[in-house]
Amino acid sequence: MTERVPVLLSSSSVFPEPTAAAFQMAAHLGFDGVEVMVWTDVVSQDAGALQGLAAHYGVPVMSVHAPCLLVTQRVWSPDPWERLRRAAILAEKLGAPNVVVHPPFTWQRDYAKRFQEGLHKMTLKHPGLTFAVENMYPVKMAGRDFVPYVPGWNPVETGYDAYTLDISHCAAARTDPIAMAASMGDKLAHLHLGDGSGEGRDEHLVPGRGNMPCAEVLAGLSKSGFRGSVALEVATRKSSSRAEREADLAESLRFAREHLGVLTSH
């Protein structure tokens, strides 16, 4: 018996179309599920609405991305712990096993001070969930690199129970995603698939259109017996039509499945 690694469509990949469009496209193109990016679209925050979409289109929610972006700092609450708590409750209601979370911003001093301990406590309180901390990247300000995260952009250096590897973020940080995956080891629970040019920008390109070793990362996951999920996180906001957006997403899905192959069940 074989079991393939599930490939999810992140709702961020259909932006500027709304969250509901992600379910429609995921069903149409044959994705295994959806990762819901919780943001200002009220549907992304509503368990009942998301359950209805999942049932209508026959596509489960398999990952929830907590509202950690700059533009989502007021979603649900200005308190980052409350936002994470509500993301966990949302994931539980949807039956999604994974919650993606970013390291704290530098200005979130109290949150940052207790983040490692608090995240571990959150894991104990929600034992059915994996809180997978995502690797980030420095940003350029006045021609210099600035790291807006505490204690840094690389969560492995701090140490957490689980990680999300984002290949596009590796490109922005000018770091090797294969080495990053190796450093995460068996704590690698989730992958954000998107390519990058390696020029220090977060681009979220269709895999295969940049310079990052996306195929090698996917093949490595398959060979290692990876038991997590892969979420396609690409930028399609410049697409001129729904057809062009769907073509990019379909190409990305084919790429992911081709290089993941299948896993042997135990």
| pLDDT tens sequence across 11-32 | 999 999 999 999 999 999 999 9
Task: Decide if pLDDT at 263 tops 60.
Answer: no
Confidence of residue 220 (pLDDT cuts 50, 70, 90): very high
User: 212: which 2 tokens?
Assistant: 């990052």
State phi, psi for 37 to the nearest 5 degrees: -85, 110
Task: Please report the pLDDT score of residue 262 as a whole number.
Answer: 54
The pTM (predicted TM-score) of the whole model is 0.93
The helix or strand, by DSSP H or E, that contains position 44, with its residue range, turns out to be none
User: 31: which 2 tokens?
Assistant: 């994705």
Encode pLDDT of 152-200 as tens digits.
999 999 999 999 999 999 999 999 999 999 999 999 999 999 999 977 7
Contact between 221 and 260 (Cβ < 8 Å): yes
The helix or strand, by DSSP H or E, that contains position 37, with its residue range, turns out to be strand 33-37
Percent of the chain's residues with pLDDT above 70: 97
229-120-89-99 Cα dihedral, nearest 10 degrees: -20
Task: Decide if pLDDT at 97 tops 50.
Answer: yes
201 or 182, greater pLDDT: 182
Encode pLDDT of 222-240 as tens digits.
899 899 999 999 999 999 8
